[in-house]
């Protein structure tokens, strides 16, 4: 082995493909004969514009994005998107949110600053351990959109079926499942995802927005960075973007295409998740917390019978070289995030470790 690489189960930032990191390393001192590292390039230079255009083209191919959608790269992460979505899309000042956990709640809090939020469905009654029924929600005629967090990183749930929006625009936070499986972009008005989970380095969100939702008649007193039209009109270069993230993500887009695209990723991800869930379902010590039909393929939440034992698992896992198995502080327990770049060996090794731990702590 050339270098030690750990199995990192962090909820994000998270593992990146080894091959991509090696390419980045090899291009560090002189990118393709430019005499520069990508970090040093003017964002207006031809060499960088080529990197940007290739990244957009590859993402469009990977997700099969229709021509009437724009791809934007915006800083500020999910937190800024919570605000931008509401500030840009609330024309009538009213939107329906599905409350599925920590990240939906944060989106709701920011949207409430902008207009009226109607909770279309919630799974609050059982600690967000399931996806509520969204087949027949009360949606006011004049609601501007329906918002979901399609995969709740902290709670470990996923929408395996999209809500019935009754003809309204669907907005989805896909951060912790972005590029993990195919999706039909035309079903959405806007998809956004922080890239630091399934794709690349933190510091950028990808926004995929239907062009007619980029409002030209937006309140001119809104901060200029918060307007989607600012970023759309300048191809994400109104100001200097996170060029490094565009470069790294572009490499991952290409890597995923080479690997067989999102159908292949979905197959691999489901296979990995099955290995872990099958073990957890058969274990007497570990139990999952999410309703089986709503389980996330990316973030596997589980726990033992006590907080003390959970802590012992985390401690032993660290000693065994596994990183970040602790559940989010807001919910406790254990969590293994197994994003695109987590190899199957990592999941198998984790199951072996958990089996051994269970045997030793009967």
For binding to a second copy (CB under 8 A), which residues are involved?
A: 2-6, 8, 10-16, 18, 21-22, 24-25, 28-30, 33-37, 39-43, 45, 75-80, 82-83, 87, 109-110, 113, 194, 196, 200-204, 220-226, 238-245, 248, 321, 323-324
- Closest to a second copy by CB, 28 vs 233, is 28
Q: How far apart are CA 237 and CA 239, in angstroms?
A: 5
Q: How far apart are CA 26 and CA 103, in angstroms?
A: 37
- Closest to a second copy by CB, 57 vs 202, is 202
Q: How far apart are CA 71 and CA 62, in angstroms?
A: 13
- Closest to a second copy by CB, 14 vs 285, is 14
Active site residues: 103, 173, 197
Smallest distance, Å, CB 133 to a second copy?
Answer: 30
Helix (H) or strand (E) holding 48: helix 46-63
Instruction: At 40, list the tokens.
Output: 């040093």
Smallest distance, Å, CB 73 to a second copy?
Answer: 10
Q: Nearest Cα to 283, choosing from 328, 313, 308?
A: 313
Smallest distance, Å, CB 334 to a second copy?
Answer: 15
- Closest to a second copy by CB, 33 vs 167, is 33
| Radius of gyration of the chain, Cα coordinates, nearest whole angstrom | 21
Q: How far apart are CA 84 and CA 258, in angstroms?
A: 33
**SS3 label, residue 205:** strand
- Closest to a second copy by CB, 30 vs 64, is 30
Smallest distance, Å, CB 321 to a second copy?
Answer: 7
Q: Is 169 in contact with 144 (CB distance < 8 Å)?
A: yes
| DSSP state at residue 4 | -
């Amino acid at each position: 082995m050339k270098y030690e690489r750990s199995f990192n189960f962090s909820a994000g930032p998270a593992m990146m493909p080894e091959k991509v990191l090696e390419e980045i390393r090899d291009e560090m001192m002189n990118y393709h004969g430019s005499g520069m590292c990508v970090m040093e390039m003017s964002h207006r230079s031809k060499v960088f514009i080529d990197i940007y255009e290739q990244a957009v083209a590859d993402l469009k191919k990977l997700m099969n994005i229709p021509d009437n959608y724009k791809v934007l790269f915006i800083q500020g992460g999910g937190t800024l998107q919570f605000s931008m979505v509401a500030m840009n899309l609330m024309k009538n000042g009213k939107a329906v949110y599905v409350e599925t956990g920590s990240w939906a709640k944060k989106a709701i809090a920011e949207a409430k600053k902008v207009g009226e939020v109607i909770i279309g469905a919630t799974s609050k009654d059982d600690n967000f351990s399931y996806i509520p029924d969204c087949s027949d929600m009360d949606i006011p005629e004049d609601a501007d959109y329906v918002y979901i967090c399609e995969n709740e990183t902290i709670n470990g749930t996923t929408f395996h079926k999209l809500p019935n929006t009754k003809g309204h625009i669907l907005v989805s936070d896909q951060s912790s499942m972005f590029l993990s499986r195919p999706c039909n972009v035309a079903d959405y008005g806007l998809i956004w995802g922080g890239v630091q989970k399934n794709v690349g380095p933190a510091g950028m969100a990808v926004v995929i927005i239907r062009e007619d939702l980029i409002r030209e008649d937006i309140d001119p007193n809104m901060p200029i960075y918060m307007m989607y039209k600012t970023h759309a009109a300048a191809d994400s270069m109104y100001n200097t973007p996170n060029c490094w993230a565009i470069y790294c993500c572009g490499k991952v887009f290409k890597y995923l295409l080479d690997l067989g695209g999102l159908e292949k990723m979905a197959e691999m991800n489901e296979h990995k998740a099955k290995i872990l869930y099958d073990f957890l379902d058969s274990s007497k010590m570990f139990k999952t917390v999410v309703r089986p039909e709503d389980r996330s393929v990316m973030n596997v939440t589980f726990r033992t019978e006590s907080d003390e034992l959970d802590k012992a698992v985390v401690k032993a896992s660290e000693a065994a070289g596994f990183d970040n198995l602790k559940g989010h502080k807001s919910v406790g327990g254990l969590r293994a995030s197994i994003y695109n770049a987590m190899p199957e060996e990592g999941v198998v090794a984790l199951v072996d470790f958990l089996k051994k731990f269970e045997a030793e702590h009967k």
